[in-house]
Structure 1
Amino acid sequence: MTTDYDAILLVSFGGPEQEDDVIPFMERVTAGRGIPRERLEEVSQHYFQFGGRSPINDQNRQFKAALEQLLAIEGPDLPVYWGNRNWHPLLADTLREMRDDGVQRALCFVTSAYSSYSGCRQYREDLAAARTEVGEGAPTLDKIRVYYNHPGFVAPQITIIERALRQLPDDVRDDAVLVFTTHSIPWTMSRHSDYEVQHYETCRLVAASFPGRPWQLVFNSRSGPEHVPWLEPDVNDHLEELAGRGVRAVVVVPIGFVSDHMEVIYDLDVEAAETAERLGLAFVRADTVGTNEAFVRGVRDLIRERVDGSEPAALGTRGPNWDVCPVDCCFTPGQEARPTVAQAAPRSRPAGTPSEHRGTAAD
């Protein structure tokens, strides 16, 4: 157990903060993917509807402040830095700051609770690339495990859903369906990770607190060519299906997102809400865990696992994920093999892989 960490690094996706940021941000996110300019400009309109400002950076500032305060009071008393993959503050700039402050080894918390290439491995690749860019003196980086079944992630979802249900009209509340949603990814990416099975497990753990209430995991924010299969059903298609079956109310739960960003405030709060209104469905979008106190404490517990050897916590039967990802973890054949941080042989594989368990919803 490594105990010589001298800082925490909050790692997130990043987002534009003004209209002039939007196109450069989109170009950075899609670099090397051959996305036509007209498609970038189309998606950019989503940001322009909100003044060109994504809420994700503000939420990260709030989360960083909350975590710093908790660590200062209850320990471990470590400074918290923050760097993004795709917009300022960029990872390499933050690593330079850390190096200049004398940080030698940092523990990285990523705002992605699940395993996949884009949700875990790509972050590790970008951390390694940032270390290479900074060069000599760049701090050693280790990534905290995925935490989809950690009590600090699951418990806040339950209180958030309870609050959302209270926002529905009295006459439809008892019959409302829970619609858990997450970012769709290409089927091939899902096939080489535990992305789906981990999401189904989180949904199952949360839904157990609402016995008898129907639920389903669906997907939003699909992109890419139509001929490339992505995970389905789409949230809007699922709302159509529910309305056709006579359902009168839904609570849409962004279970795959730690904080609000464009895939939440546009794809759910605008597009899915408009679909529900057209169908006559009462609609409430539950909050993301964001800066929920129980979630911040859960992150502190994840930090303590690595800093002082505290017992790893996990709900359900799958147990805690490994601390250090295997060399081939979430790697899709055909991808470029890029260096990552914290690679090692696995200590054990969590029970239930996508080929072993798909999960079903009780609707």
Structure 2
Amino acid sequence: MRPYDAFLLMSFGGPEKNDDVIPFLENVTRGRGIPRERLAEVGEHYFLFDGVSPINQQCRDLVAAIRADFDAHGVDLPVYWGNRNWDPYLADTVRQMVKDGVRRVVALATSAYSSYSSHRQYLEDIDRARAEVGPDAPEIDLIRPYFDHPGFVDALVDHTRAALDRLPADLRGEARLLYSAHSIPMAMARASGDPRADHGPGGAYAAQLAEVARLVTERLGGGHDYEVVYQSRSGPPSQPWLEPDINDRLEELAADGVRAVAVVPHGFVSDHMEVKYDLDVEAAQTARKLGIHLVRAHAPGTHPAFVAMVRHLVAERAESPVPRTGLSRLTPAGHTCGPDCCRIR
């Protein structure tokens, strides 16, 4: 795995007790002028779970799984973890790397797709953390978006099949697959990916989501109707975001006589708060009200194929001049983004 001497898992971060919730949300929304009353409203989602976001423990579990996989395959890289918005903060992790003598790092973000918030912002996080630490900070190379890597797709296939098996037998075959991802503003969506490529009005982000939905459905045998829906919208009604919202779509499907759906959170790496609240609480309540049987698949998490994918991507970045593992024509052409890739104008 040379030229690297460490691996870094980068994530969003989340609170782990009630007192953390508002300070965490202030970190997330800093500079956006969002009133404290709105933060308190969003904080209610976390208070339902005693202020604990699942994401930090899921990162701990993933770090442990990556370490075990590296050890089992002779990969001699220490594994670090740093967050954007909560402890362990990325800059603190980079400081620890300096103390440990680390000089060059390969990093993976817990987001598989191309957009400002899911890829470019992690590059900005790296630059900010290195600047804060100073001239001794190690070089950090971020692994490219990996949405169509077999390890990501196959983990979703297994979890979706398991979810379908939880439906009543007489509804299983007719269940519609709703692939759900975090909605983003249309301005951000249009800017996602290489600006020289035409990915349609939703940009590379929406195109990649559609491609993963197709890949997973095909691997399941192709017997289910499917579509991409969105969740977790947070902007004002006047600002267009990617649609349809999952709750609105459930209303329409019920009117069309659909009796069962399997929701696949293919836009996410782990079952964090947006999955636990927006799908397991809000969408589940909507489905019950409409008389629809709803099951939810797990995100990749620590599925063995996903964990092995991390090792494969580290090797790819270390050994190959171009990405070599992808299941679609949308696989990134290079390891690094262009200067204007995913930049919101």
Q: Are the counterparts in 2 of residues 180 and 253 from structure 1 also a CA contact under 8 Å?
A: yes
Matched residues in 2 for 1:214 and 1:15: separation? 35
By how many angstroms is 1:76 displaced?
Answer: 2.3
How many percent identity over aligned positions? 56
Aligned: 1:185 with 2:184:
yes
Aligned: 1:248 with 2:255:
no
Aligned: 1:225 with 2:236:
yes
Matched residues in 2 for 1:127 and 1:316: separation? 28
By how many angstroms is 1:261 displaced?
Answer: 1.2
Matched residues in 2 for 1:73 and 1:230: separation? 44
In structure 2, runs of 5+ residues without a counterpart are 193-203
Matched residues in 1 for 2:301 and 2:46: separation? 20
Matched residues in 2 for 1:321 and 1:147: separation? 12
Q: Are the counterparts in 1 of residues 18 and 52 from structure 2 also a CA contact under 8 Å?
A: yes
Aligned: 1:315 with 2:314:
no
Matched residues in 2 for 1:11 and 1:279: separation? 39
Higher mean displacement: 311-320 or 113-122? 311-320
Matched residues in 2 for 1:37 and 1:321: separation? 43
- Equivalent positions of 1:8-23 (< 5 A) are 8-23=7-22
Matched residues in 2 for 1:17 and 1:154: separation? 30
Q: Are the counterparts in 2 of residues 22 and 52 from structure 1 also a CA contact under 8 Å?
A: yes
By how many angstroms is 1:73 displaced?
Answer: 1.8
By how many angstroms is 1:72 displaced?
Answer: 1.4
Number of residue pairs the alignment of both structures matches: 332
| One-letter amino acid of the structure 1 residue matched with residue 334 of structure 2 | W
Find the counterpart in structure 1 of residue 309 from structure 2: 298
Aligned: 1:201 with 2:215:
no
Deviation string for 1:176-201 (max 9, x for gaps)?
00000000000000001111111111
By how many angstroms is 1:309 displaced?
Answer: 3.2
- Larger helix proportion, structure 1 or 2? 2
Deviation string for 1:286-314 (max 9, x for gaps)?
00100001100011100110223397211
By how many angstroms is 1:3 displaced?
Answer: 3.4
Deviation string for 1:290-346 (max 9, x for gaps)?
00011000111001102233972111233444201111110011xxxxxxxxxxxxx
3-state DSSP class of the match of 1:266? helix
Q: Are the counterparts in 1 of residues 173 and 223 from structure 2 also a CA contact under 8 Å?
A: no
Query: Superposition RMSD on alpha carbons, in Å?
Result: 1.2
Find the counterpart in structure 2 of residue 153 from structure 1: 152
Q: TM-score, normalised by structure 1?
A: 0.90
3-state DSSP class of the match of 2:275? helix
Q: Find the partner of 1:257 among 230, 249, 268.
A: 268
Q: Are the counterparts in 1 of residues 107 and 142 from structure 2 also a CA contact under 8 Å?
A: yes
